[in-house]
Amino acid sequence: ADTTYIALAGNPNCGKTTLFNELTGSNGYVGNWPGVTVEKKQAPWKKERDVELVDLPGIYSLSPYSPEEVVSRDFLVNDRPDAVVDLIDVTNLERNLYLTTQVLEAGRPVVVGLNMCDLLKERGDVIDAKKLSSMLGAPVVEVSALRNRNLDKLMRQAVDAARGGVATKGVRCFSPEVESALQKVQAIVGDAAPAELARWYAIKVFERDAEAIEPLGLSREQLDQAEEVIAAIEKSRDDDAESIVTGERYDWIATVMDACVKKAPKRLTTSQ
């Protein structure tokens, strides 16, 4: 049978190495990603040897500002794993979701693992995983990599998603004004971008991410038309396009936090 490739993505310290070692028995191939001194780890899932896990570098974003970010997005967008497990440290949910909103746009089937759920219990915080799943448009599995909880379930869902081959859509996290600009840019890019990556590339063009859009080989005319759309919204917002995108992602994440997280009431402690 063909090998099924599943990438593990997540912020630094979200527990990716713990998960990778637990799933693979940790005796996999370790080397560097081509051209950079960023560690690459790859090994089969110990329960199904034809499922290959690729541990991506820990990152906060898929922008091009560090070798780790470039390696991760090149792998997602160009090498195209069959599915992605996006691992989230649930005790830092708000910060971790920033990367998640971008991973969901990369045109691959995504399953979200909510890691460190054992710590959540201690704190008394409650996450509505069903609601979170519906807002993200992707399956969400509550796990603990350290305590080996629900890891088979996470992998089962990832393998199913990989073999189903249906790319996750990406969330509608932008305001109507920005959304309409993105639609215009997407139309300008047209079939220069593969269908599964149409939205990904529309956002990258909007952000003027030259490195990301280079493979599209857009014409001068297409770039000028896009620039007109981008400049108009920058003028109306008095902000640059990249900051607008970042700001709206965080605004959307705030609504997700409101809808999905119930904090434990703060206990008053008395000193004695």
Question: Which residue among 61, 101, 102, 115 contacts ligand GDP (CB under 6 A)?
Answer: 115
- The partner residues of 36 in beta bridges, in order of sequence, read none
Rounded to a whole number of angstroms, the minimum distance from the CB of residue 58 to Mg ion is: 6
DSSP 83-101: EEEEEEEGGGHHHHHHHHH
Residue with tokens 């992998």: 155
Separation CA 112–CA 137 (nearest Å): 10
Task: Please classify residue 268 by burial: count the beta carbons closer than 10 Å to its beta carbon, then call 0-12 exposed, 13-18 middle and 19+ buried.
Answer: exposed
H or E segment to which residue 6 belongs: strand 4-10
- Say whether residue 14 binds ligand GDP (CB under 6 A): yes
Nearer to ligand GDP, 122 or 191 (CB): 122
Give the residue with the Cβ less far from ligand GDP, 10 or 107: 10
Question: Does 18 interact with ligand GDP (rule: CB under 6 A)?
Answer: yes
Q: Does 42 bind Mg ion (CB under 5 A)?
A: no
Is residue 118 part of the contact set for ligand GDP (CB under 6 A)? yes
Q: Distance between CA 122 and CA 120 in Å, rounded?
A: 5
* 153: its two tokens: 């379930």
Nearer to ligand GDP, 118 or 152 (CB): 118
Q: How far is the CB of 9 from ligand GDP (least distance, A)?
A: 10
Cβ–Cβ < 8 Å for 185, 199? no
17 belongs to the binding site for Mg ion (CB under 5 A)? yes
State the alpha helices, DSSP H only, in 144-219: 151-164, 176-189, 198-206, 210-213
Binding part of the chain for Mg ion, among 17-25, 72-80, 237-245, 257-265 by CB under 5 A, reads 17-25
x-or-dash string of contact with ligand GDP, 55-74, rule CB under 6 A: ---x----------------
Among 9, 83, 116, 230, binds ligand GDP (CB under 6 A): 116
Site residues (CB under 6 A) for ligand GDP?
10, 12-18, 58, 115-116, 118-119, 144-147
